[in-house]
Amino acid sequence: MSGICEGRVAIVTGAGRGIGREHALMLASEGARVVVNDLGGEMDGTGKPTEGPALEVVEEIKGLGSDAVANGDDVSSWEGAQRLVNTAVETFGGLDVLINNAGILRDRMLTNMTEEEWDAVIKVHLKGTYAPTRWAAAYWRERTKAGESNDARIINTTSPSGLFGNVGQTNYSAAKAGIAAFTQVAALELARYGVTANCLAPVAYTRMTENLMPGEMAEGLSPRWIAVIATWLASPEAAKVTGRVFHVNGQNLGIAEGWHLGPVQQQPDEPSELRPVVADLMKQARLNSNMFGFDAEGDGYPGHEI
């Protein structure tokens, strides 16, 4: 099988369903050999772990004429993440692409959120991105030290909730914002080893979003659209693209520009003198964004006036 990822070895976490499944299938259709990682639990991370969903995707990939192996390790476990990376190297002889996609939801208003609901989401998303990336980066660094070259990719998964915020998701939004920042730093640190790091902020109709979207949106927001940019970023064609966050909403593809320093004023010496300075800054500054990435005046945020 030939394609833009011909001969490449990829790991996709959370690949048993939804967006991760589409990543794995499209990578395979473009010639990659894939480690399909999934715990097989419920959307909130509960339930008995099973490799069933991962094995189903592996069979689909083999039906495409490509090769894949299932992995049921917990990506938020230090040892599990190491085993995951080792699975790719030992099974397929190397690793070129790591897509960190695994995630859970424990939505709750901040005043009602439990410590366990906070910790579970932060662990799966943030540590579940850090730990596999750490072991993959160590592998690529050792190759560089041994005189080998890399053309490697890290593709992480943030969310519009992490970029713009969303009511009822302080845990999820905080984790996803952390992943976006993590990606930018990883891009800077790992460039010397021939590794790029980018991030996707997907809008897609999956089991994690079906309660938030009407069913008629399913076709236009198929998770397959997310896999298109992910597969391209995984290919050699994307060697010069790094540190970016791509916002993917159906067929619409954009780049989220992130935090920039806006207007600046000199502070007065006394707090009592600060109000007109802040008022002027607010008049000059862009408003915070809503969930669609546009100015959010009237959506619960203050406008330009104080």
| Active-site residue list | 172
Burial 29-46 (b: 16+ CB within 10 A, else e): bbbbbbbbbbbbbebebe
Q: What is the CA radius of gyration of the chain?
A: 21
Q: What is the DSSP letter of 64?
A: T
Beta-carbon contacts of 105 under 8 Å, excluding residues fewer than 6 positions away, are: 43, 44, 121, 172, 208
Cα 293 to Cα 169, 233, 235, 242, 248, distances in angstroms: 17, 23, 28, 21, 12
CA-based nearest residue to 125, from 45, 225, 40, 187: 45
CA-based nearest residue to 156, from 190, 192, 120, 196: 196
Which amino acid makes up residue 117? E
